[in-house]
Amino acid sequence: MPLGARELGVFRLDPLFISKVVIDQGNGPVSIDLQFTDLHIHGLKDAKIKDDMNASTTKPIYFSGKTQIAKGITLKGQYKVNGKVLVLPIQGEGECELNLENVSALFALHCHEETKDGLRYLNIDDFKFTFDTTLLKIRLENLFKGNKELSNNMNTFLNENWKEILQELKPGIQDAFGIAFKEITNRIFSKVPVQNLFDK
């Protein structure tokens, strides 16, 4: 459904738009205040759901499964950062791009039933989303007030230490994806009765 489905209240999913992701890490090797805004996420149309999906349609109602995005995903938008990465200070704001290659993800959602006009519908209480990637490439423009040499050196440093950086970015990104997917899926569930979701 990369183009969305207006009859279900779902707009374009690829690129997926997320207005804000806030990452506030006060301690540890990566100590930063980082905010992404106006993120456009490309590549979700290539997601493949694995066959071993688990589901229970009796209480408690849940679904879980795995998905693979072999072509990876790209996040483009604006950023603002201030803090320390490993041993180096970092500060700046401007355009950003993050490329995650060969993404594998797990998702799990817990739901409850609601009845409207005699029909049963699902409503998601919680949507958990976690992911891994084989490589993260980072590009942050206008670091250190546009100092090109410092900016290039920092981008090189970030990419050389992408695994450590990703560990700090993951929670905020995963939460943002979970919130977005919960909203999208609830729009669909609110329009499609339970019997139409599962009856073949």
Residue 171: asked if its preceding bond is cis (omega within 30°), the reply is no
How do residues 130-147 score in pLDDT, each as one tens digit? 999 999 999 999 999 999
Q: Max CA-CA distance within the chain?
A: 65
How do residues 8-22 score in pLDDT, each as one tens digit? 555 567 788 899 999
3-state SS class at 190:
helix
Tell me the domains of the chain and their CATH numbers.
Answer: 16-198 (3.15.10.30)
Residue 158 identity? L
Nearest to 119 by CA among 58, 44, 197, 176: 197
Number of other residues whose CB lies within 10 A of the CB of residue 1: 13
How do residues 24-58 score in pLDDT, each as one tens digit? 876 778 888 999 999 999 998 899 988 777 888 77
Number of other residues whose CB lies within 10 A of the CB of residue 113: 12
How do residues 51-101 score in pLDDT, each as one tens digit? 777 888 778 888 899 999 999 999 999 999 999 998 899 999 999 999 999
Total-model pTM: 0.83
